[in-house]
Structure 1
Amino acid sequence: MTRRRWAVLAALAAVLLAGCGKADQAAAPAPSYNDTDVMFLQMMLAHHEPEAKLLELGKKQSRDPAVRQVAVELDIEQAADTRTIRDRLTGWGQPLVSTANHSAHEAHGGLPLLDDAELLRLASLTGDEFDSTFLTMLIGHQHGAVELAHMETATGVDPATRELAARTDETVRAQLQQLLKMVA
């Protein structure tokens, strides 16, 4: 081969190799989610944890069949949402629990969480007092889910996560109307 042919082949090889590297870089899609999407999902998981304990108490201790039925239905819905949330975070390679400083979330409404002391107090109640307190605690807690959903729909970008937030907002608002009628 002549020197010129070697030069042409070397130049062609360099172009092909350079193109391959750029094609690999271009093929890597940008994430379809942002920090708000991740934070919403992580906060919803944190929101579901104490709610599961509250619903378990409602299923076991309420004497009112309507209250027990609400606890059962909400528990089923929450379990499905929890699976969806876990799958989405895992699929994104994100932790299930936020690694950010806890105080970083205070600006998002300072949402009250059900703590163990409140749940222990509820567990010690019986009859109508239990049912009334259970419903009041559930109403307050469910309001937190609405606030989280609003945060997501305001600045989240992942379509599936925004849909989950919109569905959560709609569903929980309907649940709140039902719960408020039960307490009245």
Structure 2
Amino acid sequence: MTASAGASPTVSVAFNATDVQFATDMIPHHQQAVDMADLAATHASNPDVKALAAKIRKAQDPEIATMSAWLRSWGEPVPGPMHHEAGDMGGMPGMLTDTELRQLAAATGPAFDTKLLTLMIKHHEGAIETAKTAQEQGSAVKHLAAEIATTQTAELTEMKTLLDKLP
């Protein structure tokens, strides 16, 4: 079987179990980050935090679509929206607990800014770890996994810098 590598639909390579696991885990992981980022529009007070959240959403929404298309083309189930709870992830690094998500949703203003950055740092660290494994052991997902690791490493640096600047 073949699938698109990275975002390029013209490159076909065989996929393996790591590719399926990566997409199956990363879709709900990304969806959780998008859900967190969505809260920033109404909960954040710092314009830089709002801008970073919008950037995260803009990067991860298309990646969710790409990985969902891969899973469908491989004849594998696409995780639904309820699949993103930490208990369903089999130990996927960086997934937040329901309690952490509730605390984030309840926060506003500077408290939200600090909590979002703190939790998103944890979340991104988990995604980077997973992406590095996929780069090493995957086949069809190597390119996207590398992009995720690079993008989220840069965002991590940005988040840590923003966190240090918050009151």
Q: Which residue does 1:175 correspond to in 2?
A: 155
| Fraction of identical pairs, as percent | 29
Aligned with 2:150: secondary structure?
A: helix
Q: How far apart in 1 are the matches of 2:89 and 2:109?
A: 40
Is 1:81 aligned to residue 63 of structure 2? yes
Question: Which residue is equivalent to 1:20?
Answer: none
Structure 2: segments with no counterpart, 5+ residues:
3-12, 81-86
- Displacement of 1:104 after TM fit? 9.5
SS of the residue corresponding to residue 128 of structure 1 reads: helix
Matching residue of 1:10: none
- State the 1:127 CA deviation: 2.0
* Residue 91 (structure 1) aligned with residue 64 (structure 2): no
Match of 1:117 among 95, 99, 102: 99
Q: Matches of 1:117 and 1:47 in 2, distance apart? A: 16
Aligned equivalents of 1:92, 1:135: Cα separation in 2: 35
1:36 — aligned with what?
18
Matches for 1:9-20 after TM superposition, within 5 Å: none
Count the aligned residue pairs: 148
CA-based RMSD: 2.2
1:147-162 aligned within 5 A: 147-158=129-140, 161-162=141-142
- Encode CA deviations 1:121-173: one digit per residue, 9 max, x unaligned: 12222221111111100111011110110110111122xx1000011111110
What is the DSSP-based 3-state SS (H/G/I as helix, E as strand, rest coil) of the residue aligned with 2:14? coil
Structure 1: gaps spanning 5 or more residues: 1-27
The letter of the residue matching 2:147 is R
- Which of the two has greater strand per residue? 2
CA contact (8 A) 2:134 2:142 kept: yes
Return the offset for 1:103: 8.9
1:165 to 145, 154, 157: 145
Q: What is the Cα deviation at residue 46 of structure 1?
A: 1.9
Contact 1:56 1:71 in 2 (8 A): yes
The separation in 2 between residues aligned to 1:78 and 1:36, in whole angstroms, is 20
**Does 1:67 find its partner at 2:46?**
no
The structure with the largest alpha-carbon Rg is 1
Q: CA deviation at 1:78?
A: 0.8
User: Structure 1 or 2: larger helix share?
Assistant: 1
